[in-house]
Amino acid sequence: MPRAIAGVLVECDPSIKAILVKIDTEHHHDFIIEEIDDEHLLIKSNKHEDLKQLLRDALKDTVREAEDSSESD
């Protein structure tokens, strides 16, 4: 018998989607149910908040690295 998984549709830029896919891969595919197209993902609803926090952390690291490299110019 088929099983259903509750999900949240997420719309984002392709660059953010790439980060989300990387996070999902690093966490043994715990978050993404389906990659729909370049700007849409279906995320497990019970993992949505965890993924948002991991994305915030990843973006903080990215912004911090960009600021550091611009200061050395």
pLDDT band (50, 70, 90) for residue 2: confident
What pLDDT score was predicted for residue 29?
95
With 0-12 / 13-18 / 19 or more C-beta atoms within 10 angstroms meaning exposed / middle / buried, residue 17 is buried
* Cβ atoms of 70 and 31 closer than 8 Å: no
Q: What pTM, to 2 d.p., does this model score?
A: 0.82
CA 72 to chain centroid, in Å, comes to 30
8 Å CB contact between 24 and 30: yes
73 has pLDDT over 60: no
User: What b-and-e string marks burial along 19-51, b requiring 16 or more CB atoms within 10 Å of the CB?
Assistant: bbeebbeeeeeebbbeeeeeeebebbeebeeeb
